[in-house]
Amino acid sequence: MSISTGEQAVVEGVKKQLLVGGEWRDASGGRTIPVEDPSTGETLCEVADAQPEDALAALDAAVEAQADWSKHPPRERGEILRRAYEKIVERTDELALLMTLEMGKPLAESKGEIAYAAEFFRWFSEEAVRIEGRYAVAPNGAGRLLTMKQPVGPCLMITPWNFPMAMGTRKIGPAVAAGCTMVMKPARQTPLSMLALAGILEEAGLPEGVLNLVTSSSSGSTMSPLISDRRLRKLTFTGSTEVGRKLMEQASGNVLRLSMELGGNAPFLIFEDADLDDAVVGAMVAKMRNIGEACTAANRFHVAGPVAEQFAEKLAEKMSALKIGRGTEEGTQVGPLIDDEQRSKVDELVHDALGKGAKALVGAEKVEGSGYFYRPTVLGDVPEEADLRQEEIFGPVAPVYSFGSEEEAIAAANDTEYGLVAYVYTRDLKCALRVVEGLETGMVGLNQGIVSNASAPFGGVKHSGFGREGGHEGIEEYLETKYVAVNL
Ligand code: NAP
């Protein structure tokens, strides 16, 4: 199916060049990259393909704008964010359509992401005027200790394709609020949402050079000169643990401030006393939000032995009723995966588990035809040695395991290199608190299948990374502390 005239108009409405120092310009040599609609495999448009010299020009612009921007009154920085928040909300329908076209998720989910993305701007518009310091009498009574907060300086931001706008606003929001300038590089597959966002920030009055945007097909060679540039002060990355590790190595040479939001392998624990129907509702959200392509996606369901089979059957019933289709079609609940490679990886993980003895209750196959669709899948009797026990699935696949005791459940949940989020379903408050305290994750959903909230600190531990986005903690990532020893 080809894209409609209305869809084409939304794509055409976005500027597709690089934004450098307030000027929209082509990449060196006029190079471009195609952007594909994953539900058809067709090319939607072409965007600029930045080369290393373009990225360096973007950093030059960020460095040049930094001194003035850091002196900009906090109230005005906040008001820019507030205006941008309002514009995003006003344009929800068109931004959601754009996101669905480049990323595939159903329109209703894209609207959900637009609301979530905008919320970071509203939250940080309020945080901009609450950057505080301390004044204290030194313990010996003689001197005074003054502590102040200042912007970190020019930041490099690298974001993934799965949440094309929200992963950007939760970095741009606090950076603007704190007074940092930035170079943003969105994922190659989903640049359009970020390009549209840059246009909105311009309209909201963000001064030239504060946000510079580069789209590129060769992220490694384009970004590395920036990471080693002494003028850069911070790298904030959301993406896979594998790429995060490489970037940390590169950044160590330049001793950069880092925030790393990396992969996940979220356990979803259901105890025997839990309301099973409620747990199924939470499981559907935790598994199927974003077609399973979320770092917070429930990657494995650990269910108390006596209710495991019943849970798996109920979940399979819900999963088999989901409507698969192009995200723009009315009623679609499951869109395509991002590309064929991602879909093949999901299929390989499913077949590895089946080959090792798991049973498919529903799904376990690709959908024939154009686009990268995969059937929602529930796997029972999954052996511990199946690869998807340890690997991030990033697709609509729910493996169900059973546990005996509370200790066994906690041990199974923690048996992973990752530590982003866990979900716990129980009606027993004491059990809930014991389990929550025992979990090695940065976040826990207690009797709910979603944790994302702009006013809460989002982030992981272990190989899921470090640093927090959102909440009061979010702005701290963009501030340095300066201590002044005052001689009275
Ligand atoms: P990815 O392959 O790690 O890519 C993420 C970003 O890094 C993209 O912009 C990519 O550019 C860029 N990149 C890749 N290699 C690079 C290099 N050598 N130097 C500089 N930049 C480089 O991840 P993804 O497949 O887009 O996203 C999925 C992953 O993100 C999952 O593991 C998921 O769990 C994680 N994630 C984590 C969070 C969180 O908050 N913890 C949130 C969302 C997603 P290209 O597009 O050009 O490759």
pLDDT digits (tens), the chain, 488 positions: 678 999 999 999 999 999 999 999 999 999 999 999 999 999 999 999 999 999 999 999 999 999 999 999 999 999 999 999 999 999 999 999 999 999 999 999 999 999 999 999 999 999 999 999 999 999 999 999 999 999 999 999 999 999 999 999 999 999 999 999 999 999 999 999 999 999 999 999 999 999 999 999 999 999 999 999 999 999 999 999 999 999 999 999 999 999 999 999 999 999 999 999 999 999 999 999 999 999 999 999 999 999 999 999 999 999 999 999 999 999 999 999 999 999 999 999 999 999 999 999 999 999 999 999 999 999 999 999 999 999 999 999 999 999 999 999 999 999 999 999 999 999 999 999 999 999 999 999 999 999 999 999 999 999 999 999 999 999 999 999 999 999 99
Report the pLDDT value the prediction gives residue 56, as an integer from 0 to 100. Answer: 98
Report the pLDDT value the prediction gives residue 2, as an integer from 0 to 100. Answer: 74
Residues 264, 295: Cα–Cα separation, whole Å: 5
Beta strand pairing call for 144-151 and 479-486: antiparallel
Q: What separation in Å is there between the alpha carbon of 244 and the centre of ligand 1?
A: 8
Indicate if ligand 1 lies below 6 Å from the C-beta of 190: no
- The closest residue, in CA terms, to atom 26 on ligand 1 is 160
Give me the active site residues, please.
261, 295
Residues 391, 388: Cα–Cα separation, whole Å: 5
Indicate if ligand 1 lies below 6 Å from the C-beta of 263: yes
CA nearest 376: which of 35, 112, 106? 106
Report the pLDDT value the prediction gives residue 252, as an integer from 0 to 100. Answer: 98
Using the atom order of ligand 1, give the atom closest to the CA of residue 465. Answer: 41
Report the pLDDT value the prediction gives residue 1, as an integer from 0 to 100. Answer: 61
- The closest residue, in CA terms, to atom 35 on ligand 1 is 239
Using the atom order of ligand 1, give the atom closest to the CA of residue 250. Answer: 19
5-262+464-485: what CATH class? Answer: alpha beta
Q: What separation in Å is there between the alpha carbon of 294 and the centre of ligand 1?
A: 12
Residues 129, 82: Cα–Cα separation, whole Å: 12
Q: Which residue(s) pair with 48 in the sheet? A: 32
CA nearest 423: which of 396, 403, 450? 450
Residues 166, 289: Cα–Cα separation, whole Å: 14
Beta strand pairing call for 377-380 and 359-362: antiparallel
How many angstroms separate the Cα of 88 from the Cα of each of 67, 115, 120, 364, 382?
28, 8, 11, 38, 43
Indicate if ligand 1 lies below 6 Å from the C-beta of 238: yes
The 3-state DSSP composition of the chain as helix, strand, coil percent (nearest 5) reads 40, 20, 35
- Burial class from Cβ neighbours inside 10 Å (0-12, 13-18, 19+) for residue 163 reads buried
Q: How many CB atoms lie within 10 A of CB 87?
A: 18
Report the pLDDT value the prediction gives residue 34, as an integer from 0 to 100. Answer: 98
Report the pLDDT value the prediction gives residue 135, as an integer from 0 to 100. Answer: 98
Q: Does domain 266-453 have CATH number 3.40.309.10?
A: yes
Q: What is the DSSP secondary-structure string of 71-140?
A: HS-HHHHHHHHHHHHHHHHHTHHHHHHHHHHHH---HHHHHHHHHHHHHHHHHHHHHGGG---EEEE-TT
Q: What is the DSSP secondary-structure string of 172-187?
A: HHHHHHHT--EEEE--
Contacts of 86 (CB under 8 A, 6+ apart): none
Our mutation pick for probing the ligand 1 site, out of 158, 193, 343, counting the most ligand atoms within 8 A of Cβ, is: 158
Indicate if ligand 1 lies below 6 Å from the C-beta of 261: yes
Report the pLDDT value the prediction gives residue 397, as an integer from 0 to 100. Answer: 98
Q: What separation in Å is there between the alpha carbon of 309 and the centre of ligand 1?
A: 36
In the structure encoding, which two tokens stand for residue 62, read together?
């960020």
Domain with CATH 3.40.309.10 in the chain: 266-453
Domain with CATH 3.40.605.10 in the chain: 5-262+464-485
Q: How many CB atoms lie within 10 A of CB 198?
A: 23
How many angstroms separate the Cα of 30 from the Cα of each of 24, 198, 290, 427, 430?
13, 21, 34, 60, 62
